[in-house]
Amino acid sequence: MVKLNFDFSKLKDIMNMDIKDLRNKLIINKKNKSIKIKKEKKRRVVAFDIGSTNIKIAEGMYYKGTLSVEKLIDVAISSKAIIDGSIEKEEILVSTLQKVLTDNGITAKEGICTNNSSLIINREILIPDVKEEELDTVVRYEIQQYLPINLDDYVLQMTMIGEEFSDDGKKLEVRAIAYPEKMARGYYDLLIALNLKPLALDVNYNALNKLLNYIDSINEYELSLQESVAFIDMGASSLDVNIYNNGTLKFTRIIKAGGKYIDDILYESMNIPLEDIEYFKTHNIDLHEKELDFQNSIIVDTLDEWIDKIEKIIQFYKTKNFGDDVNKIFIYGRTSRIKNLEEYITSRIGIETVKIKNIPKIMRGSSIDVGENIDNFINVIGSLIRL
């Protein structure tokens, strides 16, 4: 497959389009100090949520504060095509996605990719109160003090998330995201190979953050942005734990665990064919206390390990944020479909845990039929929202 020459400056532009805050909607004319509002375009886009075993695709439009989702597609991908967020088998991936786009009549000309990876560095740091043009230099210096990395290999973005005042004066609380340039380059090239104009590169916890500020309820629960809520994306190879408060991401961690680990246990202990394991997990495993027979008990120890790690992350967040309690946990993703998993987590941690089954504002009036599997598409739907 022939690749086009990679323009790194364009990649930085794409990163800038999404990870910064709402100030991206304003352009400062330094000559006359006037503020001009960037004209919003009405355009249909296609977004890809890149997972380790499946890619979720959404075609839709976000215009004047309204999100319309036209198509949702979930496609399995070749084993090891994506490893920890990095594209390893590009030709197979392009061939698979080209066929899916054609078969499903996807006509959008612009593309978005969103993902998560343990290689993406996310840090909340306090820096002195400096001018905006000095932020990049100061943040780079602070990161290099604590992380043994070469920042030239990363695309660095910053978001102001607050201010702190003390006897030492005012300090700025900044979220710094360092995205591996090689990984970002892979997604840029993927969109080009699919004959799509690269529009934006997102990170799943940022896409979810936008969605939470757009919707008003999950299942029958009204969302209160003033509460601290945890969302756990239970994927094949990782559990992504994200905590939000006041409509803003406050804390995020990745646990190396997921559906693949349970698949291996079931395959080794019960000899279940690999192609049947997904069905078996959702139909034959039930964590209700009265039904913990053999097929359930063999995975309980693994689930307990995961829950212990989740509880430690929440406790660390609480300590870091002066006792701020997490009021509710929402779980989603394929692994969350194990029967009564939400009840089991609730009993273990003592925080009400809810399995996401419906997002009324997205599905209301939509002709899309995904049943209760809307949770598969949370990240990719959020990435359609352009701020």
Do the beta carbons of residue 232 and residue 241 sit within 8 Å?
Answer: yes
Question: Smallest Cα–Cα separation from 4: which of 176, 198, 149?
Answer: 198
Question: Smallest Cα–Cα separation from 43: which of 124, 127, 111?
Answer: 111
User: 330 and 222, same structural domain?
Assistant: yes
Q: Which domain holds residue 142?
A: 121-180
What CATH number has the domain bearing residue 166? 3.30.1490
Question: Smallest Cα–Cα separation from 186: which of 91, 46, 47?
Answer: 91
CA 88 to chain centre: 20
Query: What's the alpha-carbon Rg for the chain, to the nearest Å?
Result: 21
Q: Where are the beta strands (DSSP E) in the chain?
A: 26-28, 35-37, 45-50, 54-63, 66-76, 82-83, 86-87, 110-115, 121-128, 154-166, 169-180, 197-203, 217-218, 221-222, 228-234, 239-245, 248-255, 328-332, 353-355
SS3 139: helix
Q: Is residue 301 part of a domain?
A: yes
Q: Is residue 138 part of a domain?
A: yes
Q: Which residues are bridge partners to 63 per DSSP? A: 66
What CATH number has the domain bearing residue 291? 3.30.420.40
User: 344 and 271, same structural domain?
Assistant: yes
* Total domain count, the chain: 2
User: 342 and 272, same structural domain?
Assistant: yes
Q: Helix, strand, coil shares of the chain as percentages rounded to 5?
A: 40, 30, 30
User: 352 and 259, same structural domain?
Assistant: yes
Question: Smallest Cα–Cα separation from 354: which of 201, 197, 229?
Answer: 229
User: 339 and 241, same structural domain?
Assistant: yes
Each residue's pLDDT, cut to its tens digit, for the chain (387 residues) gives 333 333 445 555 555 555 443 233 323 233 343 434 456 788 999 999 999 999 999 999 999 999 999 999 999 998 889 999 999 999 999 999 999 999 999 999 999 999 999 999 988 888 988 888 888 899 988 888 888 888 899 988 888 878 888 777 889 888 889 999 999 999 999 999 999 999 999 999 999 999 999 999 999 999 988 899 999 999 999 999 999 998 889 899 999 999 999 999 988 988 888 889 989 988 888 888 665 567 778 889 999 999 999 999 999 999 988 889 999 999 999 999 999 999 999 999 999 999 999 999 998 878 888 888 999 999 999 999 987
Q: Is residue 365 part of a domain?
A: no
Do the beta carbons of residue 24 and residue 17 sit within 8 Å?
Answer: yes
Q: At which of 180, 198, 230 does a domain end?
A: 180
Q: At which of 134, 154, 180 does a domain end?
A: 180
Q: Is residue 205 part of a domain?
A: no
Please state the pTM of the whole predicted model: 0.88
User: 348 and 224, same structural domain?
Assistant: yes
Q: Is residue 377 part of a domain?
A: no
